[in-house]
Amino acid sequence: MALTFDDRDGVIWFDGEFVDWRDAKVHVLTHGLHYGSCVFEGQRAYGGVVFEQRRHHERLHESARILGFDIPWTVDELDAACEELLKKMNFVDAYVRPVAWRGSEMMGVSAQQNTIHVAIAAWEWPSYFKPEERMKGIRLDLAEYRRPDPRTAPSKSKAAGLYMICTISKHAAEKKGYADAMMLDWEGYVAEATGANVFFVHEGKIVTPLADRFLSGITRQTVIELAKKRGYEVIERRIRPEELHHFTECFLTGTAAEVTPVSEIADWRFTPGTISLTLLEDYMKAVQPK
């Protein structure tokens, strides 16, 4: 039986101190649990170094600001905490999860006086998708739920509450035998997968949805930079689902997904090709410590 996430050996950085993994607990009446006042990051360490660590912690601060609270530890302090955590856990390659949330002093929609808590955990986690599926291209369903209008939700924050529809969509896709689901935005344009950004290839050019309605991932930004270094043209624009039959390649990007080729989305088919596999290799080289 696989280890559960509440019963492991090791430590978690919790409000400035390292505590035993099993003792890193919150009260059942924590505001972040009831009202979604919680933000987080997903980071990966390669060779003992967290890739783009500072950018992740800067985004964590910005996500919290959008949700109306301030994280009481600086970016530098979070960087140092992550580095020390990896040493204490004796991890070289690992997934790292910082999370910040409102505590339990007030229980109701308003929680102006609640303490802001921060924790950082790390664990060994291989590729988000099965390695054998990843190289031949994973299969995606088309999600029922859509990414919300930015006027109705804080889409620029990596807020825990925004992932509710992602969990629903991924579970529904897995029940049908798919690895994940692609989500449209509220107007019906292609948006992203449940936890990763999406790219397509047409006649040697890379096309990806304009990231002004959902989070522009740090991996997404890195892959765009790598593609341009290779001389590929990268076009960011609105994409209608009916255009998908024109594209020959498709791949996902994200801290957990890294670069993962896609072979099909619902009734649309793609073939993992030169561009997808080249960028996969380039990304895996780029994340290694210099």
Strand partners, 262: 138
Of the residues 158, 176, 205, 229, only one is catalytic, namely 158
- pTM, to two decimals: 0.94
Q: Does pLDDT of 27 surpass 90?
A: yes
Alpha helices in the chain (DSSP H): 31-35, 53-66, 75-89, 131-136, 164-175, 218-229, 274-286
What is the reported pLDDT for 1?
63
Confidence class for position 218, pLDDT limits 50, 70, 90: very high
Asked if 88 is an active-site residue, the reply is no
Q: Does pLDDT of 255 surpass 90?
A: yes
Residues 121, 12 contacting (CB under 8 angstroms): yes
CA triplet 247, 130, 175: central angle to 5 degrees?
80
Distance CA 145, CA 194 (A): 10
DSSP state of 2: P
Q: Which of 58, 25, 21, 23 is nearest to 43 (CA)?
A: 58
The gap between the terminal CA atoms of the chain, to the nearest Å, is: 37
Alpha carbon of residue 41 to chain centroid = 7
Confidence class for position 244, pLDDT limits 50, 70, 90: very high
Q: Pseudo-torsion of CA 245, 248, 254, 256, nearest 10°?
A: 100
Mean pLDDT across 8-36 = 97
Q: How far is CA 174 from CA 3, 160, 161, 171, 262, in A?
A: 21, 21, 21, 5, 15
Q: Does pLDDT of 3 surpass 90?
A: no
What is the reported pLDDT for 72?
97
What is the reported pLDDT for 133?
67
Q: Which positions ≥6 away from 281 have C-beta within 8 Å?
A: none
Mean pLDDT across 146-152 = 96
What is the reported pLDDT for 60?
98
Q: Dump pLDDT digits (tens) for 176-215.
A: 999 999 999 999 999 999 999 999 999 999 999 999 999 9
Distance CA 131, CA 124 (A): 16
